[in-house]
Amino acid sequence: MSVETAAAVAERFRELYGTEPEGVWAAPGRVNLIGEHTDYNDGFVMPFALPHTAVAAVSRRTDGVLRLHSRDVEGGVAELRVDALEPESDRAWTAYPSGVVWALRAAGHAVTGADVHLASTVPAGAGLSSSAALEVVVALALNDLYELGLKGWQLARLCQRAENVYVGAPVGIMDQTASACCAAGHALFLDTRDLSQRQIPFDLAAEGMRLLVVDTRVKHSHSEGEYGKRRAGCEKGAALLGVDALRDVAYDDLDTALDRLGDEEEVRRLVRHVVTEDRRVERVVALLESGRTRAIGPLLTEGHASLRDDFRISCPELDLVVDTALAAGALGARMTGGGFGGSAIVLAEATDVEPVTKAVVEAFAAAGLTAPRVFEAVPAAGARRLR
Ligand code: GAF
């Protein structure tokens, strides 16, 4: 996959708008190593940034006009007025960048317009946060140009608000924070309650291992509604247990909490996933920090079983990746992201990458599925200005 160069994006901006952009910025997609569906429960997550980025060339305007163009979507330049942006009025890709402008203005920042050209190498619909990358790159550009002085975590909060309120998707804070705050060579251990963070060195190559991303190329159509249902179920669990969020249920008290939920079978399963998943994140952090990286494999696989059996958001294609990779010798594997399609991650010895990849590709062919896209993921830099 080619990486967009700042020069090419700036050149296209000049062709479209007839002037030099004031700057060019990049924001990455992410994979989540562990900590799935914990972010809207105030829990722990551990994503890292991909080398795939959304790149934006941007200039300010003072006349209230917002012009948006993407290399990756058919159609010309969309022209909007910043004072006429209305939540949930836009169902196209433009909702992500214009939602950011809306969120900045709603928070009292005097953003008076912009010309934007975007180009992204983050695969869309693969569960790798292509939308968060679009949001964060525009937020960072406007933060710099309008000298707003917002920090990465503050931009992430604004982008989440854009997505929750303007786009209308009830997502948590993980993807935007990952794109804004990740660092090359590290995974981001993030407490989603207060956004405190720790960069955990994550250099698999130095230890003879690799992490593969397997994009199943499927996205099941019910995914969006199901996300909201899981979130509502978790909130119901927290209310029944009398806590602010499921993060407040201690792992050691899990059995008691589950007993208290009585015959609320579905809520019990959701609670069990969230509480055990938070625990897995903490265990993965402890293992990485004590140099026992290989030992995280079984925790990744346990996380998948929990998402499949308790949270019920896997699908046959994701299960096929995980089962096939493990049978072919992988150290661990799990779905990553929202679920119902998208991508899985596979941790493997460097020497097993070839047989594992071959096994997965052959299993997809044997099942009559579209060939998956498999690539190695090395933790890359978070959002930044390119020029
Ligand atoms: C999606 C959401 F956008 C995140 O906030 C998170 O909840 C994730 O699914 C599941 O961990 O990527």
Q: Which CATH topology does 3-199+381-385 take?
A: Ribosomal Protein S5; domain 2 (3.30.230)
As annotated, the active-site residues are 175
Break the chain into its structural domains and give their ranges. Answer: 3-199+381-385, 201-376
Burial class (CB in 10 A: 0-12, 13-18, 19+), 142: buried
Q: Is the minimum distance from the CB of 68 to ligand 1 under 6 angstroms? A: no
| Among candidate residues 169, 218, 173, the one with its CA nearest the CA of residue 191 | 173
For the domain 201-376, what is the CATH code?
Answer: 3.30.70.890
Q: What is the pLDDT of residue 220?
A: 81
- CA dihedral (65, 71, 73, 76) positive or negative: positive
The alpha carbon of 170 and the centre of ligand 1 are apart by a number of angstroms equal to 9
What is the chain's length?
387
Give me ligand 1 centre to Cα 122, in Å: 16
ipTM of the modeled complex: 0.99
pLDDT score for 67: 98
Per cent of the chain over pLDDT 90 is 97
Model confidence at 98, pLDDT cuts 50, 70, 90, reads: very high
Percent of the chain whose predicted confidence (pLDDT) is above 70: 98
- What is the mean pLDDT of the segment spanning 318-340? 98
Separation of CA 60 and ligand 1 centre (Å): 31
Cα dihedral sign, 156-308-341-333: positive
Buried b / exposed e across 230-266, counting CB within 10 Å, b at 16+?
Answer: bbebbbbbbebbebebbbbbeeeebeebbeebeebee
The protein residue whose alpha carbon is closest to atom 9 in ligand 1 is 338
Is 252 annotated to bind a ligand? Reply is no
pLDDT in tens, 269-317: 999 999 999 999 999 999 999 999 999 999 999 999 999 999 999 999 9
> Average pLDDT of the chain?
97
Alpha-carbon dihedral sign for residues 167, 1, 315, 275: negative
What's the mean pLDDT in 24-38? 98
User: What would the mean pLDDT of 67-82 be, rounded to a whole number?
Assistant: 97
Beta carbons within 8 Å of 47's beta carbon, 6+ residues apart:
30, 31, 32, 33, 35, 174, 175, 177, 178, 182, 187, 188, 190
Q: Is 127 annotated as a binding residue?
A: yes
The CA angle 10-11-14, to the nearest 5 degrees, is 90
The closest of 199, 216, 211, 174 to 37, measured between CA atoms, is 174
Q: What pLDDT sits at residue 1?
A: 38
Average pLDDT for 92-105: 98
- In the structure, what pLDDT confidence band is assigned to residue 224 with cuts at 50, 70 and 90? confident
Tens of pLDDT, residue by residue over 32-73, are: 999 999 999 999 999 999 999 999 999 999 999 999 999 999
Instruction: Report residue 146 as tokens.
Output: 């309008």
Atom of ligand 1 nearest to the CA of 37: 11
Average pLDDT over residues 321-346: 98
Give the distance, in angstroms, between the CA of residue 74 and the centroid of all CA atoms in the same chain: 24
For the chain, the C-alpha Rg in angstroms (whole number) is 21
37 in a labelled binding site: yes
User: Would the pLDDT of 78 be above 70?
Assistant: yes
Residue range 259-270: mean pLDDT, rounded: 97
